[in-house]
Amino acid sequence: MNAAATLLSMLLLLLSVPIFMVFGLGSASVAILGMDLPWSTLIQVSFGSMTKHVLIAVPLFIFTGMVMLRGGAAA
């Protein structure tokens, strides 16, 4: 299964598919085809992995960029 996932990822990259889609399609295909887990378990694990720390990172990253821009560090 690892070889198939690697070949799929390489093929998608060669077809100039955006990298976020390559990662998403690759991980989804391995999760769906390679693991014998029920859908409910996959959904629980995916939502359980998004903790408060991950969700707060994006707004703080944007805020830091704005502070750097207005402070002149990003000039």
pLDDT tens readout for residues 18-43: 998 888 887 887 777 777 778 788 77
Q: Tokens standing for 35? A: 């693991």
The rounded percent of the chain whose pLDDT value lies above 90 is: 16
CA dist 18 and 57 (Å) reads 22
Q: Is 35 helix (H, G, I), strand (E, B) or coil?
A: coil
Residues 6 or more apart whose Cβ sits within 8 Å of residue 43: none
CA atoms within 13 A on the CB side of 40: 0
Rounded to two decimals, what is the model's pTM?
0.47
Note the pLDDT of residue 67: 94
User: 62: number of CA atoms within 13 Å, CB side?
Assistant: 4
